[in-house]
Amino acid sequence: MTSKVIIPYDKRLSWLILVLAAWLTTPALAADEPDLIFQRSTVFKLLSPNDKLATYGVDDPEIEGVACHFTVPERGGFKGWLGLAEEVSDISLACRQIGPIRFKDKMEQGDDMFRKRRSLFFKKMQIVRGCDAKRNVLVYMVYSDKLIEGSPKNSTSSVPIMPWGAADASVQKCGEFIQ
């Protein structure tokens, strides 16, 4: 006769909550939290938060002198307020050179530059970067994906690497920093 160890229901639930809390609080591997630039309400809700469009700014953590701005719809209502609403995949992106461009390290084509969850469990938004070596242009793409299926909705922005003022005579070639 074998004996089974039975874990009481409340301990299993406690364990699940602990694992879920640890997973939800893990930091992103790419850039830090973006800076909220502004929000505009798009749908009025009487007793709960409105649906909004929010515009954020984020600096590329691996390449000095490049910043991206993206606008995402944010669900209101009670589900949005509690963080339970699944956000839609409509995201726009614009990236620009804001100073002399300096590469901090080698990179791979399609590396994550920024990542953010768009639902409680499985959906996330990602900004990835690449290099068009022939034109010496950094290319950024934003898209969202789910564990099972992604969204074909995406947006692309290009940043030509140019000298920044008279003191910036040497322009780095992005192709030299691709692994």
Kindly report the backbone phi and psi dihedral angles of residue 104, in degrees, each rounded to the nearest multiple of 5, phi listed first: -85, -30
Q: List the alpha helices (DSSP H) in 38-179.
A: 77-82
How far, in Å, CA of 93 to CA of 96, rounded? Answer: 10
pLDDT for 134: 96
**And the tokens for 110?**
């399609």
Counting Cα atoms < 13 Å in the Cβ hemisphere of 175 gives: 5
pLDDT for 29: 42
Residue in the structure block whose two tokens are 């409509």: 90
pLDDT, tens only, 75-119: 665 555 555 565 666 889 999 999 999 999 999 999 999 988 766
How far, in Å, CA of 105 to CA of 127, rounded? Answer: 18
CB 71 within 8 A of CB 55: yes
pLDDT, tens only, 120-148: 566 788 999 999 999 999 999 998 886 66
pLDDT for 34: 92
With a threshold of 0.95, does the pTM exceed it? no
pLDDT, tens only, 5-64: 655 556 665 655 555 554 444 444 445 789 999 988 876 766 766 778 899 999 999 999
pLDDT for 176: 93
45: which strand partners?
A: none
